[in-house]
Amino acid sequence: MTNSAASSTDEARVVDAVPTGLFIGGEWRPAASGRTLTVDDPATGKALCEVADAGPEDGMDALAAAAAAQQSFAAMAPRDRGEILRSAYEVIMDRIDDLALLMTLEMGKPLTESRGEITYAAEFFRWFAEEAVRIGGGYAVAPNGASRFLVQKQPVGVSLLITPWNFPMAMGTRKIGPAIAAGCAMVVKPAQQTPLSMHALAAILAEVGLPDGVLNLVTTSDAGGVMEPLIRDGRARKLSFTGSTPVGKKLLEQASEQVLRTSMELGGNAPFLVFDDADLDKAVEGAMLAKMRNMGEACTAANRFLVQRGVAEEFARRITERMGALVVGRGTDEGVQVGPLVDAKGRDKVVELVRDAVDRGARVHVGGEPGDGPGYFYRPTVLSDVPLEARVTSEEIFGPVAAISVFDDEDDAVAAANDTEFGLVSYLFTENISRALRVSERLESGMVGLNTGLVSNPAAPFGGIKQSGLGREGGTVGIDEFLETKYVAIGFAG
């Protein structure tokens, strides 16, 4: 039995404080249809509140508001745009307790993890506040000396930002931060399951002085119906999406009509390689982080543990001990380390994948079944002897299940790791420096965690290759996704 770290009064207070309308042109307003959608608490299955449910007409109003704001926002001094982000960073950090409680209520992750996400989310604003004033350009002499080149960076223009439910605030600030820094107005569409954190964020940005119309927020139960006309409209110049690969592919097709600039942060199937020469303490620590952050509901989650035969048994024993000791429960309760999955569909998929692996001969060391209701809980699970043809090795698990397979040599390990259409992140544990560099180079992924289970950092370029996406978020390249390069050829009569 655990005690709640937040009173029901606190819970009601933070939910009541969130504006529940659509935010268009600097005003909160109901959907044109008057419709609302319900936001549930995945730990109880009960409704938290209703928010406005945008239809296509509202989407078009949001795009028109962004288009109207674009020119003057692009002309705002970079320092002023940076100051807005910096102020928003300060406000978010001042209110971290309430924002964390709100996030836990709508998404399920434990409060400590919500605090971690909010810090990570705010750091994107701090980082891009600093990048806003470092947008460069160039001046050069042509090779034949007869002309000069002037190269400047300009905001790409109105941007459409679509975010998933698993990191309700950070996946937003990772796009909103560079868009503001670059001078782009935007329409933001959060996931319908977890819109409250984004509503709270929009209110904070308005409070710190973001001009009306620069950020427009459309929460909707009809993502395709609202966003497709915007993508095809011609006033938007950029689409930045974080979510699943099938939806990303569909959006890329739509975006081809207007040849939009696109950034795609899509699904993953991360291999986690442990060699015989690894420091096993580090590997187990890294595994817990890479597997259990966000209850396994992360694109960066370790999906396939590939462990060299000499340490496989010991690794499985230690992971089993750690997973078995985790406290599962409502994320608002003290001491809880694993919250519910986001909904029944997500939980049922984990049930199916584990059943499939077991039917094909996998061994269950701990867990292997859903937790007690009424929320969508699943017990932390360790499987070993997982055959490579089990679905759990090719599909995103998005749950607290560690699936372990054994390999014998380095070539086999690399071949197994790369045997996926995804390429977001790989993890690699070895104390041999030559092997570390050799295998890092051979892994087909946009990121590698070398002796660490955590790669996400606002100051680093985050993103995938293959079907995990296009473009990078964060780091010094993150702002480039929202900038165009213009070259002015200068006739020169020297």
**Residues annotated as catalytic (active site), given as ranges:** 265
- Among 117, 179, 29, 85, smallest CA distance to 339 is for 117
Query: Applying CB under 6 A, which part among 60-68, 263-271, 356-364, 369-377 lies near ligand NAP?
Result: 263-271
Cis peptide upstream of residue 42 (ω within 30 degrees of 0): no
- Terminal Cα-to-Cα distance of the chain (whole angstroms): 82
192 binds ligand NAP (CB under 6 A): yes
The overall longest dimension of the chain from CA atoms, in Å, is 82
**Closest distance to ligand NAP from the beta carbon of 201 (Å):** 15
**Closest distance to ligand NAP from the beta carbon of 250 (Å):** 6
CB atoms within 10 A of CB 441: 9
Is the CB of 183 or the CB of 453 nearer to ligand NAP?
453
Q: Please give the residues from 224 up to 243 whose contact with ligand NAP meets the rule CB under 6 A.
A: 224, 227, 242-243
Q: Are the C-beta atoms of 89 and 122 separated by less than 8 Å?
A: yes
Is the CB of 222 or the CB of 276 nearer to ligand NAP?
222
474 binds ligand NAP (CB under 6 A): no
Answer for which of 102, 118, 121, 171 binds ligand NAP (CB under 6 A) is 171
CA distances from 16 to 6, 10, 49, 434 (A): 15, 10, 8, 56
**Closest distance to ligand NAP from the beta carbon of 308 (Å):** 27
Answer for which of 158, 223, 397, 413 binds ligand NAP (CB under 6 A) is 223
Is the CB of 191 or the CB of 288 nearer to ligand NAP?
191
Is the CB of 82 or the CB of 464 nearer to ligand NAP?
464
265 token code pair: 């942060």
Q: Are the C-beta atoms of 367 and 33 separated by less than 8 Å?
A: no
247 binds ligand NAP (CB under 6 A): yes
266 binds ligand NAP (CB under 6 A): yes
Answer for which of 42, 55, 59, 164 binds ligand NAP (CB under 6 A) is 164
Is the CB of 243 or the CB of 331 nearer to ligand NAP?
243
3-state secondary structure of 339: coil
- Among 156, 146, 161, 163, smallest CA distance to 197 is for 163
250 binds ligand NAP (CB under 6 A): yes
Residues 6+ apart with CB under 8 A from 38: 47, 49, 50
Residue carrying the six token digits 């590939």: 306
CA distances from 173 to 181, 186, 205 (A): 11, 12, 11
Strands 215-217 and 186-189: what pairing? parallel
Query: Applying CB under 6 A, which part among 67-75, 91-99, 189-197, 382-390 lies near ligand NAP?
Result: 189-197
**Closest distance to ligand NAP from the beta carbon of 84 (Å):** 24
295 token code pair: 């209850």
**Closest distance to ligand NAP from the beta carbon of 276 (Å):** 30
53 binds ligand NAP (CB under 6 A): no
**Measured at CB, which residue is nearest to ligand NAP?**
243
Q: Are the C-beta atoms of 483 and 136 separated by less than 8 Å?
A: no
191 binds ligand NAP (CB under 6 A): yes
Q: Are the C-beta atoms of 462 and 475 separated by less than 8 Å?
A: yes
Helices (H) and strands (E) counted in the chain, each on its own, are: 15, 22
265 binds ligand NAP (CB under 6 A): yes
469 binds ligand NAP (CB under 6 A): yes
Q: Please give the residues from 317 up to 376 whose contact with ligand NAP meets the rule CB under 6 A.
A: none
Which phi and psi angles does 187 have, rounded to 5°?
Answer: -115, 125
**Closest distance to ligand NAP from the beta carbon of 141 (Å):** 41
Which phi and psi angles does 52 have, rounded to 5°?
Answer: -60, 140
Q: Please give the residues from 298 up to 327 whose contact with ligand NAP meets the rule CB under 6 A.
A: 299
Q: What are the helix (H) ranges across 76-140?
A: 78-94, 96-107, 111-131
Answer for which of 125, 165, 272, 378 binds ligand NAP (CB under 6 A) is 165
- The b/e string for 346-363 (b: 16+ C-beta within 10 A; e otherwise) is bbebbeebbeebbeeebe
Query: Applying CB under 6 A, which part among 175-183, 244-252, 325-333, 370-378 lies near ligand NAP?
Result: 244-252
**Closest distance to ligand NAP from the beta carbon of 255 (Å):** 11
Q: Please give the residues from 391 up to 450 whose contact with ligand NAP meets the rule CB under 6 A.
A: 396, 424
267 binds ligand NAP (CB under 6 A): yes
Q: Which residues bind ligand NAP (CB under 6 A)?
A: 162-167, 171, 189, 191-192, 223-224, 227, 242-244, 247, 250-251, 265-268, 299, 396, 424, 464, 469
